[in-house]
Structure 1
Amino acid sequence: MAKFGETLVSDFLSQLGLKPIKINEGDEQTPDFEVKNMINDELLFYLEEKTIDPDSFLENVEPGIIIDGNDTSENALEKKFRKAVKQFKSVNENHIKPNVLAFVNLNDMVNSHDLYISLTGTGLTENGKVIPFRRVGRVKDDIEHVDLCLWFGKEGLQNVLWMPSSEEHKETLKQLLRL
């Protein structure tokens, strides 16, 4: 399923006139792509793609077992986020270039609001009220290493979630991704 996600994200970037270059996997964990300028090959940002499979949140759960009150989707999303941060740090430790994390969701039981909850511990009501849902663990220390989360469904981009990072990186990404 990861290949589907990488292809979907790569096609999205190419349609914007960007050049996604797959980073060769070696011994060290790295992001999936360097995204470059199509004309002069300048490195613009790094991108890691994480696919959310239909059964991503039921790992290590035996059939017939009732899952307790903990939301496994939020824990799994937080785990994917933290792993991506480690991958970004391996090539962009000082966060010189923007880091973009793309989630490709193939699971009908989760959406971008679950990602928001897992990263902030809060949810938003329809009238904009913030409601605390859960404690945020170690991910709160990692948020500054990601500039933008893109949320894709099977058909394409569905939502974006800006992280509290560099305004310069945010403006760069807004222009490059036409957001």
Structure 2
Amino acid sequence: MSAVWNHFKLETECCPTATCNVCKPSVSRGGKDRAAFNTTNLIRHLKNKHPAQYSEFTAATQIKTWSQPTLEAMLKNKEKLPKDSDKAKNITAKIAEFIALDDQPLSVVSNVGFRRLMEHLEPRYELPSRSYFTDTALPSIHNKLRVSLVIKGVCFWVYHRHMEFVCLSNVTDQLHCTMD
């Protein structure tokens, strides 16, 4: 919606005129039906009758000009992400998740196509080595999943004589049961 409407009021959407909020006369919206209405006459009215409001309108509608980035900004965009940055960690975790969930071979991180894809998606990201995924990223996922499964390994059941049991399996695969 045009900023010119800050200075005019409409009776209805179909009305061919708008009322100036400053001097109150009706100003034609141009055209004879809604499809042909425009704001040219409203802007011209502001320009000719209300210079202060016209200045407000032009200030509100000025389009920001694009400027060429500085050399410093360009060089900063070329710097690699620090490996310990949140963004780099998240990308690495998602790659490890991709390998684990989709049963991908670890060699996928060495493949040219995959490397090009990662370079295109985030040029500043430095893809870790295959051994990093083998020794660090995938074991981390495994440990998180294992803890999650241990927590889900708590079982509750009722014996047919209405005796309640609680079982909990732990990381060392020991089963502990109690009876109420």
Same fold (TM over 0.5): no
Structure showing the higher helix proportion among its residues = 2
> Structure 2 length normalisation: TM-score?
0.20
Structure showing the higher strand proportion among its residues = 1
Q: Comparing both chains, which one has the higher relative contact order based on Cα–Cα distances under 8 Å and sequence gaps of 6 or more?
A: 1
> Structure 1 length normalisation: TM-score?
0.20
